[in-house]
């Protein structure tokens, strides 16, 4: 193999790997050994919590940030998810740093969604949705704040899934620079006591 071909293979391999992780070209996901939600971010591969989609560094326009599996600051277990954001746009979605996942749920069911956060300087938002392409469904921004949170703070929200759609999506978007930690995300149904698993 020629040197140029070898170089090309080395350069293309990571790209191919990223493409195989998910069909969304703007986000990346490392699959874990099981299908669980990994809401406490304890299961980690390649320095990233598994089973979550991230809008990663290099794919978010006009941004400079790091995603870290933090084993020094955590609320539950011995790891949390930390973002160090030096520069970003406030647009949300794939235009800002963030993470999301779709979970199996029961339709027309009320879920309690909870998490813990420390925030030093960021504006961030949490959104929940139960929708599918062509079918609509509720989308709700349940939290948007730039409040300083110097110690772990608990948040909980209640959200009802769509009448005909068996899924719930959790999204977090970081809209301005700072340092932010997330831990122990839980999604518990009022009557649906199953653990959340990934839709895809």
If the CB atoms of residues 88 and 113 are measured against Ca ion, the closer one turns out to be 113
Name the minimum Å distance from CB 109 to Ca ion: 26
Task: Give the total of residues touching Ca ion (CB under 5 A).
Answer: 6
Task: Note whether 40 binds Ca ion by CB under 5 A.
Answer: yes
Task: Note whether 51 binds Ca ion by CB under 5 A.
Answer: no
- Interface region with Ca ion, contact rule CB under 5 A, candidates 2-10, 22-30, 161-169, 181-189: 181-189
Which residues inside 70-89 make contact with Ca ion, applying CB under 5 A? 74, 76-77, 79
∠ Cα 155 123 42 (to 5°): 50
Rounded Cα distance between 85 and 63, Å, is: 8
If the CB atoms of residues 66 and 76 are measured against Ca ion, the closer one turns out to be 76
Task: Note whether 130 binds Ca ion by CB under 5 A.
Answer: no
Name the minimum Å distance from CB 1 to Ca ion: 44
C-alpha closest to that of 84 among 171, 180, 182, 150: 180
**Contact in structure between 169 and 130 (CB atoms under 8 Å):** yes
If the CB atoms of residues 95 and 116 are measured against Ca ion, the closer one turns out to be 116
Name the minimum Å distance from CB 40 to Ca ion: 3
If the CB atoms of residues 76 and 132 are measured against Ca ion, the closer one turns out to be 76
Task: Note whether 69 binds Ca ion by CB under 5 A.
Answer: no
Task: Note whether 183 binds Ca ion by CB under 5 A.
Answer: yes
- Interface region with Ca ion, contact rule CB under 5 A, candidates 35-43, 142-150, 163-171, 188-196: 35-43
C-alpha closest to that of 48 among 21, 26, 23: 21
Rounded Cα distance between 66 and 76, Å, is: 22
Interacting residues with Ca ion (CB under 5 A): 40, 74, 76-77, 79, 183
């Amino acid at each position: 193999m020629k040197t140029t071909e070898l170089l090309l293979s080395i350069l293309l391999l990571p790209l191919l790997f990223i493409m195989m992780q998910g069909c969304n070209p703007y986000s990346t996901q490392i699959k874990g050994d099981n299908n669980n939600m990994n809401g406490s971010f304890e299961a980690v591969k390649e320095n990233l919590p598994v089973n979550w989609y991230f809008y990663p560094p290099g794919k978010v326009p006009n941004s400079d940030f790091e995603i870290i599996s933090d084993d020094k600051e955590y609320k539950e277990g011995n790891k949390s998810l930390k973002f160090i954001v030096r520069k970003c746009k406030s647009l949300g979605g794939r235009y800002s740093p963030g993470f999301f996942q779709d979970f199996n749920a029961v339709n027309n069911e009320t879920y309690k969604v909870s998490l813990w956060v420390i925030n030093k300087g960021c504006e961030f938002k949490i959104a929940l949705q139960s929708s599918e392409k062509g079918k609509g469904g509720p989308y709700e921004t349940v939290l948007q704040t730039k409040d300083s949170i110097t110690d772990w703070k608990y948040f909980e929200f209640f959200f009802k899934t769509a009448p005909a759609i068996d899924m719930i999506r959790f999204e977090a978007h970081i809209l301005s620079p700072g340092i932010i930690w997330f831990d122990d995300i839980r999604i518990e149904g009022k009557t649906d006591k199953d653990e959340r698993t990934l839709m895809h």
